[in-house]
Chain A
Amino acid sequence: MAQQDTTQHQLRTVEVFGKPAEVYATGSRVVQLDSAFLSTYSSGSLAEALQARTPIYFKSYGVSGSSSVAFRGTNASQTAVLWNGLHIASPTLGQSDFSVLPLSGIGEVAVQHGAAAASYGSGAIGGAVLLNSPKYKTEGIGGDVKLETGSFDRYFGSGNLGYGSKKFSYALSAYGHLAENTFKYKDLSRFGTPEVQQEHAQVQQHGLTQDLNWHISPATELSLHGWYTFSDRELQPAMGAVNTNARQLDESLRLMAGLQHQSQLGQTDVKLAYFNDFLHYTDNSNDSEADVDTYQLQAEQTYTYGTRWSLRGGVNLQHFVARNDGYAREQEESRASLFALFRYDPVQPLQLTLNLRQALVENYNPPLTPALGFNWKFLNSNQHQVSLKGNASGSYRVPTLNDRFWAGAGNPDLKPEQGWNYELGLRHVLVQGNAFLLETEATGYYMLIDDWIQWTPNYTGLWRPTNLQKVESKGIELSTTATATLGEVKLSSTAGYTYTSSVQAAVYEGSGSDKGRQLMYVPRHKAILATEAKYKSWSLLGNLNYTGLRYTSNSETSHLDDFILLNLALSRRLQLGPNTLLLTLRSDNLTNAAYQTMAYRAMPPRGYTFSLRFILP
């Protein structure tokens, strides 16, 4: 979980101003998902990975349904999702369904905690999930094939092929996934709570990624990325609710070209992208389609002066063309934002950043969004490093295309959401030679989100979006990672705990009788313990996850019980000449816990998965 800290730690020692956007995010918490975990669980979705390894809570509509995120007590629209630096959330719904975002074909997953809208734009209120394409580093041809089979009729296959040289690299990756999800569960809603087999939860997914990097000259690099995902799902009905044969097809094509050029004026980055998101929902009485084209251009210039100053300025343009059965006609919207990110290190142990973003959107006028952060390493001895860090940042979210264009439900008075996030953290790093590294971090935050948009019925019963409430969220995030080498055993372990309190502070419509109570589906407590142990050719990956009680409405009168999930994966690496064969046996939900993340949506019991991965050098 705190892997990114290591990266940052190295970054600071190796080069002061690296490329990642985190350079301008001092004082905030950025955590990278462990690469061993990502490769072992590559057949899963981003929702499963983040649920298992981060404090973020995902509400899943069963094993086959959509997964929506709750980060620092916010809702699904209030977490931005970026792929290679560009927003990919559905512009119609304003959120990403994390269950249709596969891990396969994704190189890095990082999680930015807290508001980061000055850096990432609309929607980065509770946090941001940053996805990056893999970097193909090996010279010559390489690749791997993975085949996997698991309980409840689950099959997965993926293949990667890459070629790299000094100037050029190319990688192609494809996957296919079929899960019947024929597990048994106890139907809590039926008289006598009989054990029944899950019906109507089949998932079929496939996809493709292509990544190309070409150093045209020593100072100029061209990159092309393509990502196609297809998902056809039977939506699992809730226990007690009729199976209406609901089915959803999601198809997304994401293409982008990037150009990076180094000159005396610093680094120029231009990204041009085209996304198409198609969604087709059907059930016994509905049949609706949404098809959105998104065009994006992001251009930025980074200028670094010496080792103390760095300035990045840029512009982001988005244009949406949406066809949706709920809209009166094809609708278009353009959005622009200008940003300036500034970093200054007055003295070596102190880093300061100031970020500003001004978004310009038809019909809405989001305010200027600032972020101010610092990182002060006040103790730096041989073994110990202690830093104090903090930031204050604004955030905003522009209403979605549905909020704006849904026929008959328009609300001309709708305003963008606006948030403020304040946090303070302490970080300790203990290094003992090459054998032991302990990194500990504690963060406390306070957040206010006003004009929170929600669909509610008006006085005549018509459902439409409205700026319903102001939410106050506060919490504590603790994590500690130990990395140790004991003879031939390599151990790495992360423990994390978060406390989240998220309540309505004001309600602008209706009785507001739930003020001060915890918002639904926000666990107050979540804890994880992740361990990786390596011994010779063996490796063991363990993941223990505790999710506290969650209320199922805003009144704190009904809830889902807390649960513990244990996942274990045992791998053995066999060397076959120059090639490697990796055998993995894993068990998810080893303790066979009966749990739900969304009320009455059955989740799978204990299951086993066996996988073979053949790696060309």
Chain B
Amino acid sequence: MKKLNYFRSFFLAATLAVTSLGFTSCDDKDNIEPELPAEVRGPFDQKGVFILNEGNYTHTNSSVSFMSDSTGHAVANHIFSKANADRPLGDVLTDLDLVEDRAYLTVNNSNKIEVVNAYTFKTEAVLENLKQPRYFTALDADKAYVTEWITYGAPGQVSVIDLKTMKITKSIPVGIQPEELLLAGGKLYVANSGANTITVINTATDAVENTITVSDSPMNLALDRNNNLWVLSAGKIVYTSDWSAIDYTLTTAGALSKVTPATQNVETYTFDSNRTIPTNLVINGSGDKLYFIYDGKTFVQDINASGLSSTVFINSGFHGLGVDPETGNIYAGDHNNWTGDGTVRVYSPDGQQVSNFKVGIGPRGFVFN
């Protein structure tokens, strides 16, 4: 029974698993003083990609891998544990964000954010006692936001973190199960995955300004080159009254929505079936191509298309998806049945697999350095 609840929870965790990219700030390089010190500040002071390995729920085996862009494409696994005297990172890593010379690791089922040196991955601070934190995003070097579920099924919150003191200065009530958040034009958009809304917070006042209604269970957010906000909704799963089966007469299909922030106009493309859930919306570096997974396949969609794409990019689904903003290469995380290390498969922009390498358990997200 315990095992079954584990399955149920795991199913939930797996369903909610989304890539963490697209919105993470990768522009920290630009903020560094022009006179860069010539010396290398640590093994991760180089171009490459961080891979977020979620790990098995309740097994405290999340990890971070790094693949270098330099010749040889060396892969280092368990970089957090190795830098911190074998201390495990925690249980269910959901997000990694680079802000200046630090990386913020959101560890969902450990209720914490580990703050590490971005070049060495040595811990500098830990923000503990969060309430089921999911995703993190920094406004600048002083202020960041984190979504927190608090309790499954109840309204969640967005907490404002003072990055200088690593203290929470404010918690803003939002909708149920807030997932990804995205900063654009002085606003913070929060996907309330347990509802059908996007909460809009003014980052100057940290007050809720508006709520936009979208399709059921918005999970992922992406901003395109025209500053339109793309929302991937998973659809609402409704169980029969005794919770023993999914009631497909009431379960809603997933949808991809385009929100125009200025007018708050929502254009929605609904998927054809309510029996399979779309996941993993990510966008490329130039902001004109969207990628997502549906019915065991990876699709690519042009931002100007007038309907849902039927272009199968890769004929399989993945646990995690990411796009290298420079090369346009697609990184896909294969969970390997969750019993061993996952594999990352790299595809060229035309869909050809160019390489693969082994990482930790359950690769779910990619952060390009």
Contact = CB atoms under 8 A, between A and B. Distances in A.
Answer yes or no: do A and B interact: yes
Interface of A: 66, 92-93, 188-191, 193, 235, 237-242, 246, 248, 279-281, 283-286, 288-290, 324-329, 402, 406-409, 454-457, 459-463, 468, 507, 509-511, 513-514, 517, 520, 552-555, 557-558, 599-600
A566 B172 CA distance: 54
B361 interface: yes
Contact of B60 (A235, A240, A514): A240
Interface stretch (B34-42, B206-214, B238-246, B284-292): B238-246
A553 B110 contact: no
A128 B110 CA distance: 38
A249 B42 CA distance: 50
A189 B132 CA distance: 17
A189 B91 CA distance: 10
Contact of A328 (B61, B153, B244): B244
B4 A553 contact: no
Interface stretch (B94-102, B189-197, B305-313, B335-343): B335-343
Given A191-B87, A240-B110, 10 more contacts: A191-B123, A241-B58, A281-B1, A457-B14, A510-B336, A552-B59, A553-B339, A553-B361, A557-B341, A600-B60
Contact of B244 (A279, A285, A325, A468): A325
A459 B317 contact: yes
A286 B2 CA distance: 10
Nearest to B9: A286
Contacts of A288: 1, 4-5
B151 A513 contact: no
Contact of A242 (B10, B110, B279): B110
B4 A406 contact: yes
What 9 A-B pairs have minimum CB-CB distances, sorted nearest first? Answer: A459-B296, A554-B340, A555-B340, A240-B60, A555-B341, A514-B340, A241-B91, A407-B245, A600-B60
Interface string B331-362: 00011111111010000000000000010110
Contacts of A281: 1-2, 5
A599 B335 CA distance: 20
Contacts of B146: none
B245 A238 contact: no
Nearest to A461: B14
A552 B62 CA distance: 12
B299 to A, nearest CB: 14
A93 B3 contact: yes
A600 B59 CA distance: 7
Interface of B: 1-5, 7-11, 14-15, 58-61, 77-78, 86-88, 90-91, 109-111, 114, 123, 126, 132, 151-153, 240, 242-246, 276-277, 279, 295-296, 316-317, 334-341, 343, 358, 360-361
Contact of B91 (A238, A284, A327, A455): A238
B91 A240 contact: yes
A557 to B, nearest CB: 6
A553 B61 contact: yes
B1 A290 contact: yes
5 contacts: A188-B87, A237-B58, A326-B4, A459-B296, A554-B339
Nearest to A97: B2
A558 B14 contact: no
A555 B358 contact: yes
Contacts of B3: 93
A324 B243 CA distance: 11
Contact of B343 (A286, A454, A513, A553): A513
B200 to A, nearest CB: 28
A265 B343 CA distance: 64
For A279, A454, A511, the residue with the greatest tally of chain B CB atoms inside 10 Å of its CB is A511
A92 B1 contact: yes
B1 A248 contact: yes
Contacts of A463: 7, 10-11, 14
A406 B1 CA distance: 11
Nearest to A248: B2
A268 B91 CA distance: 56
A461 B7 contact: no
Contacts of B336: 510-511, 513-514
A286 B8 contact: yes
Given A238-B58, A241-B91, A461-B15, A520 B4 contact: no
A71 to B, nearest CB: 18
A283 B5 contact: yes
Contacts of A289: 1
Nearest to B4: A326
B2 to A, nearest CB: 6
B341 A189 contact: no
Residue from B58, B132, B279 having most chain A Cβ neighbours under 10 A: B58
A191 B128 CA distance: 10
Contacts of A246: 2
Nearest to B107: A240
Contacts of A460: 276-277, 295-296, 317
A553 B5 contact: no
Given A281-B5, A460-B317, A461-B15, A513 B358 contact: yes
Contact of A454 (B8, B151, B335, B339): B339
A600 B86 CA distance: 12
Nearest to B63: A558
Contacts of B114: 191
A554 B338 CA distance: 9
Interface-centre pick from B4, B87, B245 (highest chain A CB count, 10 A): B4
Contact of B5 (A286, A507, A552, A599): A286
Contacts of A242: 91, 109-111, 132
A93 B1 contact: yes
B349 to A, nearest CB: 23
A408 B239 CA distance: 11
B60 A553 contact: no
Contact of A456 (B2, B126, B152, B337): B337
B91 A402 contact: no
A329 B245 CA distance: 10
Nearest to A558: B61
A553 B340 contact: yes
Contacts of B276: 460
B5 A509 contact: no
Nearest to B91: A241
A191 B126 contact: yes
A128 B116 CA distance: 49
B245 A328 contact: yes
Contacts of A92: 1
Contacts of A326: 4, 8, 244
A456 B296 contact: no
Given A188-B87, A553-B361, A329 B337 contact: no
Nearest to A554: B340
Nearest to B132: A242
B342 to A, nearest CB: 9
A286 B58 CA distance: 15
A285 B152 contact: yes
Contacts of A285: 9, 151-153
Contact of B87 (A193, A514, A552): A193
Contacts of A462: 11
A290 to B, nearest CB: 5
B77 A557 contact: yes
B65 to A, nearest CB: 11
B194 to A, nearest CB: 12
Contacts of B11: 457, 461-463
Nearest to A284: B151
A129 B186 CA distance: 66
Contacts of B59: 238, 241, 552, 599-600
